[in-house]
Amino acid sequence: MHLPEKLSLPCQPRVVALLMNELRSTNPSLRRLNQLFGSDPVLAAWLLEQANAGIYQLSGMVQTIPQAVALLGVAQLRNLQKRALGHIAQRIPGLEQLGPFSCDCARLARSFASALSLDGGLAYTAGLLHGLGQIVFLQTQPQVQAVTKMESWAMGPWDPLRAQWERKHFGYTATQACAKLLAQWGIPAPVTQLIDALEQPLEMADFDPLVAVLHLAVWVQRGHYSKWTDREMVRNFPIEVALAIGLDMDVVLQQEAPDWSQSVY
């Protein structure tokens, strides 16, 4: 698996603008900063990378956005954003839905995790970041770049069956590429391990119910974003994964990603 030294990382322009505006205000709201960082996967990854840098002596320990915001503080975030936020790419063709899709996965993963008394914050982080692996594929695999430009190719980056195609052609999946990338950035192991195991939760040596939660949340949102019909969703539903953590198929399919915009994740 080859990972480039530099990647063009797409942020949502509106979120970047709102974040920079909040940081420029006299008294930035920590709650608002949590909301903004928690609504864009690239910004969230950048924030967690900074918070887990060795200078803070908490390397590998900061797993959620509120933890990172609290650790860095407004003054440090202001200094960091002057060097970084203005230089982040705003768009990559083929991945325009990365931000909204990632947020919906994160919200649904948190909802499922909370219902099972699991770590909702960790589920949110992994759900938000897992899609970054598609950036690696688009920027390192010419075959992916070619097929994503073909209008007749129905299996887009968020297709529920996409991981099988990736594994067949490349020997690894975008989520595994994401896990390796995040590990290189210093993102804590609990996050990267969840993402690495996301596609096949039942094949883990030691089953982790949080991986199953993440798998179901991501699978549901992939189906929605790929415009699968209700019949397709039911026919392809990963029933074994749901049964492993005691979730009913109807509950999973009918659960909508809650709006956490008024929360601190």
Task: Provide the 10 A C-beta neighbour count for residue 199.
Answer: 22
Q: Which of 28-32, 82-86, 247-251 has the lowest mean pLDDT?
A: 82-86
Determine the average pLDDT of the residues in 29-57: 88
Instruction: Give percent above pLDDT 70 in the chain.
Output: 82
Q: Which amino acid is at 45?
A: A
pTM for the full model? 0.89
The CA R_g of the chain, rounded to the nearest whole Å, is 18
DSSP 8-state class, residue 203? G
pLDDT in tens, 166-197: 888 888 999 999 999 999 999 999 999 999 99
Q: Flag whether pLDDT at 144 surpasses 70.
A: no
Please work out, in degrees rounded to the nearest 5, the angle formed at the alpha carbon of residue 195 by the alpha carbons of 140 and 134: 25
pLDDT value at residue 241: 96
Q: How far apart are CA 149 and CA 151, in angstroms?
A: 6
Q: Give the CATH class of 98-254.
A: mainly alpha
Question: Could you give the CA distance from residue 57 to residue 37 in angstroms, rounded to a whole number?
Answer: 22
Q: Which of 208, 219, 214 is nearest to 109 (CA)?
A: 214
pLDDT of residue 152: 45
DSSP 227: T
What is the predicted pLDDT for the residue at 13? 80
Any idea what the Cα angle at residue 157 is, between residues 265 and 225, rounded to 5°? 60
- Name the DSSP letter for residue 257: P
Sign of CA dihedral 180, 175, 164, 123: positive
Tell me: the pLDDT tens digits for 214-246?
Answer: 999 999 999 999 999 999 999 999 999 999 999
Alpha-helix runs per DSSP H in the chain: 13-24, 30-37, 41-51, 65-83, 98-115, 120-129, 133-140, 142-147, 162-170, 174-184, 189-196, 209-225, 230-236, 239-244, 249-254
Residue that the structure tokens 């809650």 belong to? 258
| Mean of per-residue pLDDT scores for the chain | 85
Q: Report the interhelical angle of 120-129 vs 209-225 (nearest 10°).
A: 40
Q: Is-contact 37 69, C-beta < 8 A?
A: yes
Which tokens hold the place of 137? 């594929």
Q: Which residue has the higher pLDDT, 125 or 72?
A: 125
The reported pLDDT for the residue numbered 131 is 94
Residue 248's pLDDT is 92
Tell me the two tokens of residue 49.
Answer: 């990378």
Q: What are the sequence ranges of the domains in the chain? A: 13-87, 98-254
Q: What is the pLDDT of residue 3?
A: 60
Above 60 in pLDDT, residue 153?
no
User: What pLDDT is stored for residue 90 in this prediction?
Assistant: 60
Q: What is the DSSP letter of 6?
A: -
User: Helix, strand, or coil here: 197?
Assistant: coil
